[in-house]
Structure 1
Amino acid sequence: METLLLTFGILTLIMLGMAVGVIFTGRRIKGSCGGLNAIGDADQCLVCNKEIDPDSPLRERLACPRARRMLEAAEARS
């Protein structure tokens, strides 16, 4: 039981330290490369500005109605 509490306490301190570091550096949370950027019609990633691979397997998923709705919802928020 002591080991479990010690482990939980150490992990909590690590996560708290990382959160404080992010807060003090002033960085904003941003999305990852790929995802909806890769299946959209964009030429460049919105996050890193790199060129998107036109042969990405994610583009094939646009045939899925759910993926299309997610993409349209993301574009509506922009």
Structure 2
Amino acid sequence: MATFLLTFGALLVIMLGMALGVIMAGKSIKGSCGGLNAISDADQCLVCSKEIDPNSPLRDRLQGCPRKRKMMERAQAES
């Protein structure tokens, strides 16, 4: 039982430290590159503006994805 409490306490302190680090840094949390960002029909990633591989297999698999359609509409509205 003591091992469980010690482990739980350690994980709690670690998670609290990470949360405080994000808060103190003043940066907002944002999505990562890849995934739906990489399958848009754009030439660059919407998150980091890096070039997107035109031969990505994700493009073929998720061609009719409704989330992709919404993301593209939002990107066009911002432009």
TM-score by length of 1: 0.84
Residue 29 of structure 1 aligns to a residue whose secondary structure is coil
Alignment of 1:43 onto 2:40: no
Give the superposed CA RMSD: 1.5
Structure 2 unaligned regions, length at least 5? none
Decide whether the 8 Å contact of 1:40 with 1:71 is kept in 2: yes
Moved more, 7-16 or 32-41: 32-41
Structure 2 match to 1:8: 8
Supply the distance in 2 between the matched residues of 1:15 and 1:4 (Cα, whole angstroms).
Answer: 16
Q: Which has the higher helix share?
A: 1
Kindly state the Cα deviation for residue 73 of structure 1 after the two structures are TM-superposed. Answer: 2.8
Deviations 1:32-53 (A, max 9, x none): 1011121110110111111000
Supply the distance in 2 between the matched residues of 1:76 and 1:6 (Cα, whole angstroms).
Answer: 49
Decide whether the 8 Å contact of 1:39 with 1:61 is kept in 2: no
TM-score by length of 2: 0.83
Share of identical aligned residues, percent?
Answer: 65
Structure 1 match to 2:67: 70
